[in-house]
Amino acid sequence: MQITGSLEAIADAALERDEIAWDFVEGVTTEVGPRQAGTEAETRGRVWAVEWLTKHGFQNVADEPFEMDTWVPGDIAKAHVTGPFPQELVVQPLGNSAATPDGGLEAEVVFFRTVAELRAAPAGSLKGKIAYISHEMRRAQDGSHYGFAGPARWVAPGFASQRGAVAVVIKSVGTDYHRNPHTGGTSWGDESSPIPAGALSVPDAENLERMFERAGDRPITMKLEMNPRRIGKQTSGNVVGEIVGRNPDLPPVLLACHLDSWWNAPGAFDDGAGCGIIAAAALNVAASGQPLRTIRVLFAGAEEVGLFGSTAYSKAHIDEPIAVGLESDFGADRIWRFESNFRESNPDLHAKLASSVARFGVANSRIVASGGADLNIVRDQKGAIIDLQQDGTRYFDLHHTPDDTLDKIDKAQLRQNVAVWTQVAGILANEERAIKTGRAIPSAPATMGE
């Protein structure tokens, strides 16, 4: 049952009760599950999302398909230390990994503590070897250690390939100690050929490192077997829906998330929760009275595998101006900081928005918002962006793993997200003036998907 009242009253009420965001994330994780882009599971996810948006009263609901090159993980992923301490390690392929030969490959493992150490290795020095790359990622509220450790996944496999390695395994880019590796995209770039590339769980990676300490002069050998493959062009799509405004000719407010997840992850935190939050906020704003501007929700497809949905959406709609864009794609924990890219160019609106969410424990910030992965269209239009920064302390415990399940969502924190989004989206959707952005917008963060 939707509460009615003023925007402020509805936002306050969202703190105490939410039936929409939770229903979305419970529904998509229970009735769809993992939904990797380009697979039938993502298709089921889009059908499910279209039905859900329609049932909840969104207008102009559509599934906008696009084609994309598709990689799938296969069904074999084994890493066996063959000597001197034989045992299985838990491994999963990284996105865009090549396959091993049938039956696997066995080679000596060479240990690199950092990507920098790997880069310092001479050309050809890894010929016939498996490179193992570590890092020292720690939990951080702002998630900034993803940028610190992420290169071990994003680019190190390519560096290993360039130096002749037959395969590469990395310490998962994650902060938990469970035996569920963190997958994610890898960029081979133009200078390296894909080789088999896998992520070990953090406990397995640390076990491998202890083996190096204990092995003395004995080489560590590993047999690796994985069978991912490319399956050519497949269809993905962006799902959209609208709360149509009183003046549909005004540029809309764009609320974005992504619907896809990696094959191994049910995608509760990443990013079922985000889609639930933005949809709940849009419906809450509508319940406070039809807004001036249209609010459009964009459930992007194929974010994880390379931001294909964001790119396709921008290409298709670049000539349709967006008033302001916001994305929720960092879990479901509490929002703690408000950022925009118009604090200097439109200080009144920035201040009004920031002060409107202070009661929810959200601080103002001078950081210039750059937007999430699915806001390409707004960046391409050099438009206005707001980042409602969530607490990312737990995010990389779960990111791209099987542990990204519904039970990880704290209902109280989810509701705080919905309250903040309701408040902000409601003000923006009733803003009469265009938002000027007076300075260059930083480019999107250089991450391989979120």
44 belongs to the binding site for a second copy (CB under 8 A)? yes
Which residues, in sequence order, are CB contacts of 141 under 8 Å at separation 6+? 336, 391, 392, 393
CB of 51 to a second copy, least distance (A): 13
Residues 340 and 385 sit within 8 Å (Cβ to Cβ): yes
DSSP string, 215-242: HTTSPPEEEEEE--EEEEEEEEEEEEEE
Residue of the chain from 72, 140, 406, 434 that contacts a second copy (CB under 8 A): 406
55 belongs to the binding site for a second copy (CB under 8 A)? no
CB of 17 to a second copy, least distance (A): 20
83 belongs to the binding site for a second copy (CB under 8 A)? no
Q: Is the dihedral of CA 376, 378, 384, 388 positive or negative?
A: negative
Residues 2-41 that bind a second copy (CB under 8 A): 26-27, 29-34, 41
Helix (H, G, I), strand (E, B) or coil at 89: strand
Helix (H, G, I), strand (E, B) or coil at 324: strand
**Tally of residues, the chain:** 450
Residue of the chain from 403, 423, 424, 435 that contacts a second copy (CB under 8 A): 403
Residue of the chain from 66, 85, 111, 148 that contacts a second copy (CB under 8 A): 85
Residues 127-186 that bind a second copy (CB under 8 A): 177-180
What is the DSSP secondary structure assignment for residue 406, as one 8-state letter?
A: G
Residues 53 and 61 sit within 8 Å (Cβ to Cβ): yes
Residue among 329 and 397 whose Cβ is closer to a second copy: 397
d(CA 306, CA 311): 9
> What does the block give as tokens for 448?
């391989």
CB of 313 to a second copy, least distance (A): 27
Residue among 44 and 119 whose Cβ is closer to a second copy: 44
Give me the phi and psi of 208, to 5 degrees please. Answer: -60, -40
- Part in contact with a second copy (CB under 8 A); list of ranges 80-88, 104-112, 153-161, 414-422: 80-88
**Per-residue contact string for residues 346-375; x = within reach of a second copy by CB under 8 A:** ------------------------------
CB of 407 to a second copy, least distance (A): 5
315 belongs to the binding site for a second copy (CB under 8 A)? no
Place of tokens 């737990």: 394
Residue of the chain from 196, 402, 426, 449 that contacts a second copy (CB under 8 A): 402
Residues 274 and 25 sit within 8 Å (Cβ to Cβ): no
Side chain identity, residue 36? Q
CB of 177 to a second copy, least distance (A): 5
Residue of the chain from 210, 218, 352, 382 that contacts a second copy (CB under 8 A): 210
Residue among 151 and 184 whose Cβ is closer to a second copy: 184
CB of 44 to a second copy, least distance (A): 8
What is the DSSP secondary structure assignment for residue 130, as one 8-state letter?
A: E
d(CA 354, CA 366): 11
Residues 21 and 419 sit within 8 Å (Cβ to Cβ): no
Question: What is the distance, to the nearest Å, from the Cα of residue 198 to the centroid of all Cα atoms in its chain?
Answer: 19
Side chain identity, residue 34? P
d(CA 39, CA 160): 29
Residue among 32 and 357 whose Cβ is closer to a second copy: 32
CB of 30 to a second copy, least distance (A): 4
Q: Which residues of 202-220 are buried (b: 16+ CB within 10 A; e: fewer)?
A: bbbbebbbebeeeeeeeeb
Residue among 17 and 218 whose Cβ is closer to a second copy: 218
- Applying CB under 8 A, what is the total number of residues that bind a second copy? 35
> What does the block give as tokens for 303?
């974010």
CB of 203 to a second copy, least distance (A): 4
CB of 402 to a second copy, least distance (A): 4
> What does the block give as tokens for 269?
């935190």
86 belongs to the binding site for a second copy (CB under 8 A)? yes
- Part in contact with a second copy (CB under 8 A); list of ranges 83-91, 132-140, 291-299, 440-448: 83-91
Residues 241-280 that bind a second copy (CB under 8 A): 266
What is the DSSP secondary structure assignment for residue 56, as one 8-state letter?
A: T
Residue among 5 and 86 whose Cβ is closer to a second copy: 86
Q: What are 295's strand-pairing partners?
A: 243, 253
Residues 428-447 that bind a second copy (CB under 8 A): none
Site residues (vs a second copy, CB under 8 A): 26-27, 29-34, 41, 44, 84-88, 90, 177-180, 202-203, 206-207, 210-211, 214, 266, 401-403, 405-408
